[in-house]
Amino acid sequence: MDSCQIGIVWPEPVQDGHRAELQRFVGPDVRLDIEPVRTEPEPEQNITLALVEGLARDPENGRAAGRLAERGAQAVAYGCTSGSYVLGPAGDAAITALMQAESGMPATTTSSAVVEALRTLGAQSVAVLSPHIDALNERLRAYLEASGFRVAAMVGLNLSCDIEAVEPSETREIVESQVDRPDADAVFISCTGMRTAEVIGDMEASLGKPVVTANQATLWRVGRLAGVGMDRPGRGRLLAASPA
């Protein structure tokens, strides 16, 4: 398939920065449609374990996937790492099943896409950077371990808001100086709010190993489900040549 339309269910109102970051991971032949679960900003809330558990259980995730399918999406993804790992592999699978049922299309979540990406790259041990609080990071560790990976390092920034404000250059510096471990086969940068597209290539060159990020893996996996490869030079080994 030479072109396709893919859909992303986004758990919050979509900001211009979100659109721009996601678009950096798709080629010109891929039409990207993003459907927010909520269209109006809610009162400022800190990112807590209870809040994220509520996102994972929200029935609107399925209805948003249905709207994407009505507009022509050939595959859909839930674009939230914490919302898809917080209830473990079973909770992650439930979100996928709900989106498939409502949309009639193949579906994935960010967390399951990350698992598929790490397996495709041959990783068994992973060093992780997460912007979230420790209560969520513990759930992420458990999810990765339940998926068959050894977590060589888990570095949390303990941010409860404004994750998008972390500069890509700061992310790179933290990964290179604090996150990577010699015994890690790959590095994973969690959270779709993290801006990573412009630094993945440089990080991989510096570390000498694959770097998988939340948005990168999500777009890679949903593209494959739609039957299109994501060949995006400079966006990491995962997208260097990814046949459908």
pLDDT tens string 101-146: 999 999 999 999 999 999 999 999 999 999 999 999 999 999 999 9
Q: Are residues 208 and 143 in the same domain?
A: yes
pTM (2 d.p.): 0.94
- Write out pLDDT tens, residues 2-36: 568 999 999 988 889 999 999 999 988 899 999 99
In a domain, 15, yes or no: yes
Q: Which domain holds residue 138?
A: 114-213
Residues 8 and 97 in one domain: yes
Asked if residue 140 is part of any domain, the answer here is yes
Residues 207, 156 share a domain = yes
Q: What pLDDT does residue 244 have?
A: 47
Domain membership flag for residue 244: no
Digit-coded pLDDT (tens) for 29-48: 899 999 999 866 665 678 99
Domain co-membership, 9 together with 99: yes
Residues 130 and 202 in one domain: yes
Is the distance from CB of 164 to CB of 17 less than 8 angstroms?
yes
Number of domains in the chain: 2
Q: What is the CATH number of the domain that holds 73?
A: 3.40.50.12500
